Amino acid sequence: MLDNAHDEDAATRLALALKRLWARLREQSGWSATGLSISQLSILQRLRLDGPATAASLAAAEHVSQQAIAQTVAPLRPAGLVRSEPDPEDGRKTLISISDAGLRLRESIIASRTSWLARAVDATIGADERAALDKAIELLERLADADA
């Protein structure tokens, strides 16, 4: 077992490394040029992956209020990135879905980010280090799922 000081140092270094990597991924993906917030991009991604949703279900999934979802989604409608239509099962509710333009934007951002990251891995991680990278990814996935 590692000592507490080492664990705290490792946690700090990990947090800083992840923050720097996330900043590079945002920069390389071109998302900042879209003028959209991280919350708006998150909503587009959730709709892309999960399909149409009500504001209430988006709020629960994003751990925010329905009012926050309404404010986040409002500019996406006139931009043509999402559309709203009555819920066929309950006409009192509205389903929000990603539009074709929203899908193209999300896919473009993901493709740019993935392309940059693949090039960065290729340029900086040697073939003899790929197994270590795979192990690091596995550990990061476990950390992301941790309920510590």
Q: Where are the domains of the chain?
A: 32-145
Beta bridge partners of 96: 53, 84
Q: Which regions in the chain score pLDDT beneath 50?
A: none
Residue 42 CA to residue 21 CA, distance in Å, equals 18
* Tens of pLDDT, residues 46-69: 999 999 999 999 999 999 999 999
pTM: 0.74
Enter the CATH code of domain 32-145. Answer: 1.10.10.10
Encoded amino acid at 23, one letter: A
Residue 41 CA to residue 30 CA, distance in Å, equals 12
